[in-house]
């Protein structure tokens, strides 16, 4: 499913999969360009934030970068949040589930314009060309924006910059969810906007909200599937509507440590 959603100064490119089959049209780069030209003609291409996620087409991703660069020329304060969805690890082995030709586009074009990037461990390894198996190796990651999940670069009033490194320990949930990366990136965007000078709090609220959503989802899924049966993808659809209060005002369950 591919769609373009526009509202309130935020541009979202959201692409959710996770089922065995899907129908509908997939936007190509020409169609995306045509849509964006329509926004320009109506003078409604003014944004404060851009959030992008899953895509499978190289030319489409290149067009996204071109649009972001143009938007940043109009608004130098625009914040671009990228979830570089490329693959994941299963049983310790990493595998890409998008075409390999997207990787150099992410490395050479997307990363340089991104303000916040939210790769999982495998995606961070792809982007940096380095294995990450310890906290020390994670802290040595180079070549990504300074705001990579637990890294945030902020400007002080005197013009100097400070980098904050955050560590969070999160309990693993034994289930396969769809859309968690999208939800995480969206909430991180929202909470860094709400707390621009306190990345620790932004991370705590983001991850704690994720905890509440996942716990509510797995509880509902297990109730539907019954004992000794694994929940189906449909039963594991994130309970975001039911978690509205937790998303808006999460009880802090997961604390962050500043390294």
Q: Which CATH number is 108's domain given? A: 3.40.1190.20
Per-residue pLDDT of the chain (259 residues; tens, 9 = 90+): 333 444 444 455 555 556 677 667 777 899 999 989 998 999 988 889 999 988 888 999 999 999 999 999 999 999 999 999 998 887 778 889 899 999 999 999 999 999 888 888 889 889 888 887 777 777 666 656 544 454 333 344 455 555 667 888 888 888 888 888 889 999 999 999 999 888 899 999 999 999 999 999 999 999 999 888 889 888 999 999 999 999 999 999 999 888 7
Looking at the structure, do residues 142 and 25 belong to the same domain, yes or no?
A: yes
Contacts of residue 15, defined as CB under 8 A and 6 or more positions apart, other chains included, come to 1, 2, 53, 54, 55, 85
Looking at the structure, do residues 190 and 92 belong to the same domain, yes or no?
A: no
Q: Is residue 86 part of a domain?
A: yes
The predicted structure's pLDDT at residue 169: 82
Specify the pTM.
0.82
Looking at the structure, do residues 198 and 121 belong to the same domain, yes or no?
A: no
The parent domain of residue 144 ranges over 1-149
Q: Which residues are catalytic?
A: 182
Q: Is residue 157 part of a domain?
A: no
> Distance (Å, rounded) from C-alpha 48 to C-alpha 80?
9
Looking at the structure, do residues 126 and 198 belong to the same domain, yes or no?
A: no
Looking at the structure, do residues 117 and 200 belong to the same domain, yes or no?
A: no
Distance between alpha carbon 149 and the CA centroid of its chain, in Å?
A: 9
Looking at the structure, do residues 1 and 56 belong to the same domain, yes or no?
A: yes
Q: Is 153 helix (H, G, I), strand (E, B) or coil?
A: strand
The predicted structure's pLDDT at residue 141: 66
Looking at the structure, do residues 145 and 173 belong to the same domain, yes or no?
A: no
> Distance (Å, rounded) from C-alpha 156 to C-alpha 73?
23
């Amino acid at each position: 499913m591919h769609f373009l959603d526009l509202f309130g100064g935020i541009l979202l490119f959201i692409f959710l999969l996770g089922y065995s089959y899907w129908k509908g049209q997939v936007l190509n780069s020409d169609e995306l360009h045509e849509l964006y030209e329509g926004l320009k003609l109506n003078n409604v291409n003014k944004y404060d934030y851009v959030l992008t996620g899953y895509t499978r087409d190289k030319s489409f991703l290149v067009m996204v970068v071109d649009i972001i660069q143009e938007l940043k020329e109009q608004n130098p304060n625009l914040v671009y949040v990228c979830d570089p969805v490329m693959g994941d690890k299963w049983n310790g082995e990493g595998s890409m589930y998008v075409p390999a030709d997207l990787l150099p586009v992410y490395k050479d074009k997307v990363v340089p314009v991104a303000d916040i990037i939210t790769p999982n461990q495998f995606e961070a390894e792809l982007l940096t060309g380095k294995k990450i198996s310890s906290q020390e190796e994670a802290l040595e990651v180079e070549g990504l924006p300074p705001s990579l999940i637990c890294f945030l670069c902020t400007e002080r009033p005197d013009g100097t910059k400070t980098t904050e490194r955050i560590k969070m320990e999160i309990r693993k949930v034994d289930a396969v969810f769809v859309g968690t990366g999208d939800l995480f990136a969206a909430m991180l965007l929202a909470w860094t906007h709400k707390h621009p000078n306190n990345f620790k709090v932004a991370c705590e609220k983001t991850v704690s909200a994720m905890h509440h959503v996942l716990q509510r989802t797995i509880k509902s899924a297990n109730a539907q599937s019954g004992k000794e049966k694994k929940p189906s993808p449909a039963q594991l659809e994130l309970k975001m509507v039911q978690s509205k209060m937790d998303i808006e005002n999460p009880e802090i369950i997961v604390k962050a440590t500043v390294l």
